[in-house]
Amino acid sequence: MQQITTDRIVIVGGGMGALYAALKLAPYPVVMISPETLGEGASSAWAQGGVAAAMDPTDSPESHSTDTLRAGAGTVDPEVAAQVTREAREHILDLTEMGTPFDRDDKGGYVLSREAAHSFARVVRVKGDQAGAEIMKALIARVQETPSVQVLEGVMASGLETSDGRVTGIWVETSGQDRSKPVLLRGAAFLMAGGGSGGLYKLTTNPARIRGQVIGMAARAGAVIADAEFVQFHPTAIDMGEDPAPLATEALRGEGATLINSDGERFMLPIHPDAELAPRDIVARAIYAQTQAGKRPMLDTRAVLGEKVLTQFPSVAEACARAGIDPVHDPIPVAAAAHYHMGGIATDMQGHSSLENLWVCGEASSTGLHGANRLASNGLLEALVYARICAVGIEDAVGEVPAEAPEISLDFQPGGVAPDEAAIDRLRRCMTDNVGVVRDAEGLQRALRIIAELEADNADCPGFLNMTATATLIAAGALMREESRGAHHRSDFPDSTGEHGDRSMLTLAEATALRDRIVKESQQ
């Protein structure tokens, strides 16, 4: 077994939270573990809407916090919401200074768009729908200029080493189909910033690698997982047969695009006063219902944008062109797809997990900001705010900057085990069919039985066990929450238990015990 010990801080991930944290940690030496080339394969780069921040003089962090609390359906931590929204503006200014070309008006002010459940236009954009990609580009350029940051590309984490509840090392291996034997990397501190779980679903907007592995490896090491059942389904993934599904950004509806079905009916009008700009969970369930009824839902940009859709929303236009859809003259077919995991590794307000020496930021975390239903464009904001918070906490824990920390050289040996693609496909279909937009006890129990079977058949593959761990936590959490709240909708428990709900806290041992009981009962 190869072991390497370094004084560098180990960051798992190559997305926005990981990059921003690495920069905020400078001059502390850092090594980033990125499965892909930087800028590829990270959900951050695919984010279209932008970053929510109260930049308009008539807006305020308090209003932003109120909208966050309202959208979160009674489970948002108000202290976290206040903190994140209060810091939002300084991070926009910081990103601007780093070279992010945010859209500006003739007077130099930020162009702001309104998205669902926001009471103000407060989403800061780049080139219409290019925010994630352009912010990532600016951060990558800065990281490449920062001598304290080493990036290991084509390498992925597969497990954590712990001792007495403290993370002491991380197992890493090559990320291609030909996996290497794992190497144990021991560092000064560990930051998980490696994405969410949307790719555990067959219908998703997330990059192919985002399949709950980071949450899963922390859970397998004993970390507490919060709000696992709260998975957000984006209402308007473009229904064109691609995996993952391209996104038709919510900003289109902010510009006035409408949702219609195959009968030409605007089906959101009788459902919610805000119609197309209702909270995402409501719109997603309405679109799902139209799909189930065979009335193909579509996003109609023709009247409000016309040909401007091609220039103002280039990612949408490009996806439509690939599918032979002309959004200038035809509505865009859409479907509800797994998009963002509000749940994740539970953290305190300092970004620290329940395991000593392990911090978490970005979608892999559950800080309490999103509650049961993330407010649009709060995801990138949370990643930025908590990347800085984690950096501060890690600096305090590590102490002085080491005099030197040589770059790491990994000597990978062949012989690792890559996840079986057929097993992954069955897991993803299981999650979409049984743990999706609308859930019930029968489907959730079926999902847990299938996950248990898949796990037993693939017990020699840590990468797959990370996926099944997260899938188990989502399904178990959903089964245990016998109510409907935010993005979690139970057809057998359609009502909420009250205006305010409790956050769920679950360990993998607890979720697995529930799963084992269900499997045992089915065999009797």
Catalytic residue set? 280
Residue 169 and residue 184 in contact, taking contact as beta carbons nearer than 8 Å:
yes
266 half-sphere exposure, CB direction, 13 A CA radius: 14
The H or E element containing residue 112 is strand 112-113
Instruction: Evaluate the omega torsion of the peptide bond into residue 462 and state whether it is cis, within 30 degrees of 0.
Output: no
Residue 200 and residue 471 in contact, taking contact as beta carbons nearer than 8 Å:
yes
- CA–CA separation, 119 vs 62, rounded Å? 11
Question: How many other β-carbons are positioned within 10 Å of the β-carbon of residue 391?
Answer: 25
Provide φ and ψ at 519, rounded to 5°: -60, -45
Question: How many other β-carbons are positioned within 10 Å of the β-carbon of residue 263?
Answer: 9
Alpha helix stretches (DSSP H) within 261-301? 280-292
Which candidate, 121, 83, 117, places its Cα nearest to that of 103?
121
- CA–CA separation, 215 vs 197, rounded Å? 8
Instruction: Evaluate the omega torsion of the peptide bond into residue 182 and state whether it is cis, within 30 degrees of 0.
Output: no
CB contact set of 491 (below 8 Å; sequence gap of 6+): 438, 439, 440
- CA–CA separation, 508 vs 226, rounded Å? 11
- CA–CA separation, 238 vs 383, rounded Å? 26
At 18, the amino acid letter reads A
**Paired strand residues for 488:** 485
- CA–CA separation, 479 vs 443, rounded Å? 9
Residue the block writes with tokens 């899963």? 216
- The full DSSP string for 412-447 is --B---PPPHHHHHHHHHHHHHHSSSSB-HHHHHHH
